[in-house]
Amino acid sequence: MRDSHKHRQNVGFIGLGTMGTPMAMRIIAAGYPLTVYNRTPSRAQVLVDRGAVLARSPLELAQASDVVIVMVSDDVALDAVVSAETGILPAIRDGKALINMSTVSPGIVERLNSAVTARGGIFLDAPVSGSRIPAEQGTLVILCGGEQRHVDAYSALLLTMGKKILYAGNAGMGTRLKLTANLLLGGMMGILSEAYRFGTANGISPELLFEMIGAGPLSSPLYTLKAQNVLHRDFTPAFPLKHQYKDLNLILGAAEKLHIGLPLTQAAEALFGSAVDAGKGELDMSAVVIAGADRPAGS
């Protein structure tokens, strides 16, 4: 669909969490007619107040939409909104599109692609890089898999939420690129946790540690951003720790299928897992820095 047609394209959006709400806001602000669904309906009110229609089920939403976007937590949630009796799938027919933007396993994405295309529908996987603030500002980076012509057809819609689309290849490749990004993210936060533990045990203040990182070649926007969380002990979630833990598990599952070992990612997964066990799953993922520092000596 070209730009000139966008106002006639009925969009459905499922999953109004930390990311989904601001992303759906961007779509409605760009002038698309929007129907929304969320498992907990009260979270949809802010969008209904802006003119969105609230559907009673994913099926009802899909029946009212030309293109359905899903942004839910994980494989279980995606399966629930797609494959249940009142899920999206029965409404998929010729030319109707399903775009999954949740971070899930390559396996479920590839299964969904087969199910949707078998019904004559269009499937894209389009997970995102960037968290709540880029979602509010429409500056996410969208990692897209599917047929190139379909990515082109939905690029105007996708670019209401993002500043850039990276085309990764066939359906499933957007998800594989996203998991590669989150391997690096989990690893960078894991090793920061260890540098924090080592540095502070050596008498280096957290302030000096982050000043050193920012002053030289180790500097990165990620560390600059997350330094503020650590220094102010403010772990209001942008990217919840439990989702990064989920992604490290998805990565290790995909690596196992490819018969490749990822020992550093395994160590990061264990670190994030112990932070989840310590009750820090709902905090921002940067809380892992402190969780690592809190571990008893010798562990």
Q: Could you say whether residue 72 binds ligand NAP (CB under 6 A)?
A: yes
Is residue 242 part of the annotated active site? The answer reads no
| Residue of minimal Cβ distance to ligand NAP | 17
From 34-42, 193-201, 218-226, 251-259, give the range in contact with ligand NAP by CB under 6 A: 34-42
Given the rule CB under 6 A, which of 74-82, 162-170, 187-195, 257-265 is the region that contacts ligand NAP? 74-82
Closest C-alpha to 17, from 135, 126, 163, 100: 135
- Residue ranges in 222-281 that form contacts with ligand NAP under rule CB under 6 A: 238-239, 243
**Which residue, among 265, 240, 79, 248, has the nearest Cα to 178 in the 3D structure?**
248
Q: Which is nearer to ligand NAP, 19 or 27 (CB)?
A: 19
| Choice among 96, 178, 246, 280 that is catalytic | 178
Query: Does 38 interact with ligand NAP (rule: CB under 6 A)?
Result: yes
d(CA 60, CA 50): 20
Q: Does 173 bind ligand NAP (CB under 6 A)?
A: no
- In this complex, which beta carbon is closest to ligand NAP, that of residue 19 or of residue 97? 19
Could you tell me which residues come within 8 angstroms of residue 193 by beta carbon, excluding any fewer than 6 positions away? 271, 288, 289, 291, 292, 293
Q: Which stretch binds ligand NAP (CB under 6 A): 77-85, 106-114, 217-225, 257-265?
A: 77-85
Q: Which is nearer to ligand NAP, 19 or 68 (CB)?
A: 19
Torsion of CA 277, 279, 281, 287, to 10 degrees: -100
- Side-chain-side CA neighbours of 5 within 13 Å: the count stands at 9
Is residue 151 near ligand NAP by the rule CB under 6 A? no
| Contacting range for ligand NAP; rule: CB under 6 A; set: 18-26, 117-125, 198-206, 255-263 | 18-26
Q: How far is CA 221 from the centre of its chain?
A: 18
Rg (C-alpha) for the chain, rounded Å, is 20
173 is written with which tokens?
């490749």
Burial (CB count <10 Å: 0-12, 13-18, 19+), residue 236: exposed
Residue whose CB is less far from ligand NAP, 174 or 199: 174
Q: Which amino acid is residue 90, in one-letter code?
A: P
Q: Which residues are catalytic?
A: 178
Contact residues for ligand NAP, defined by CB under 6 A:
15-20, 38-40, 43, 71-74, 76-77, 80-81, 102-103, 128, 131-132, 238-239, 243
